[in-house]
Amino acid sequence: MLMKRFALILGAFAILMLPVSSAFAETFNFSFTGPFFFGSGTFTATPEGVDHYSITAVTGTVDGSSIVGILAPGSYPTGFLETPNDNVLIYPPEVPGDGIDKYFDDAGVSFALASGVDLNLNDTLDVEAAVAGRWNIAELDRITVTMVDPGDLVDPGDPDLAPEPGTLMLLGTGMFGLALVVRRRFIV
Cα separation, 111 vs 139, in Å, equals 15
> Does the pLDDT of residue 70 top 90, yes or no?
yes
Question: pLDDT class for 147, splitting at 50, 70, 90?
Answer: low
Of 142 and 92, the one with more pLDDT: 92
Q: Which of 155, 162, 158 is nearest to 26 (CA)?
A: 155
What phi, psi does 184 have (nearest 5°)? -60, -40
| Average pLDDT of every residue of the chain | 75
- 165-187 vs 2-17: helix axis angle to the nearest 10? 170
| Residue among 69, 76, 83, 158 at smallest CA distance from 114 | 69
The reply to whether 143 and 170 lie within a common domain is no
pLDDT the model gives residue 112: 92
Residue 154 lies in a domain: no
pTM, full prediction: 0.64
The pLDDT of 182-187, averaged and rounded, is: 76
Burial tier of 54 (Cβ tally within 10 Å: 0-12, 13-18, 19+): middle
Lowest-pLDDT choice from 16-30, 84-98, 101-115, 117-131: 16-30
Whether residues 90 and 169 fall in one domain: no
Instruction: Give the chain's domain count.
Output: 2
Structural domain containing residue 168: 2-22+161-187
Q: Does residue 155 lie within any of the structural domains?
A: no
Same domain, 95 and 50: yes
33 occurs within a structural domain? yes
Given a cut of 70, whether residue 150 has pLDDT beyond it is no
Could you tell me which residue, 188 or 121, shows the higher pLDDT? Answer: 121
